[in-house]
Amino acid sequence: MAYKVLIIDDSRMSRDMLKLTLEQAGIEAKGVADGKEALAILEQESFDLIILDLILPGLDGFGLLTMIKEMPLCKKTPVIILSARDSKEEKEEAKRLGASYYMVKHLVHPADVLKTVKVFLETE
């Protein structure tokens, strides 16, 4: 069974790079640009893991994370925050809201993200 990952990031380049990295590792990946689109997909499909940016148009990542964790299908789905934001307060808030892990975009390579994704998928 192939794992499914949803990537929520308004940067097309970030989405495409992560999607390609995951797919090359045999992981099915779908990318969306905003929270509204993500919620619509999450109401119809289940995913094994979600990668979420905090800076999104409209509904920000914190608001979206709160909504995701309230959805019956997603309550136990690991959410990895992958954001340019790097403050201690934001990391603590993400964890409080249910994020499983927090990574800072400019400090990690897509291969690092893949390693982290695999850890969470293989421990499910």
**Which domains does the chain show, CATH number per domain?**
4-122 (3.40.50.2300)
Instruction: From 29, 89, 78, 75, select the one nearest 49 (Cα to Cα).
Output: 78
Total-model pTM: 0.95
Contacts of 17-21 with CB under 8 Å at 24 or more apart are 17/110, 18/51, 18/82, 18/110, 18/113, 21/110, 21/111, 21/113, 21/114
As a whole number, the mean pLDDT across the chain is 94
The string of pLDDT tens digits covering residues 68-113 is 999 998 989 999 999 999 999 999 999 999 999 999 999 999 999 9
Confidence of residue 10 (pLDDT cuts 50, 70, 90): very high
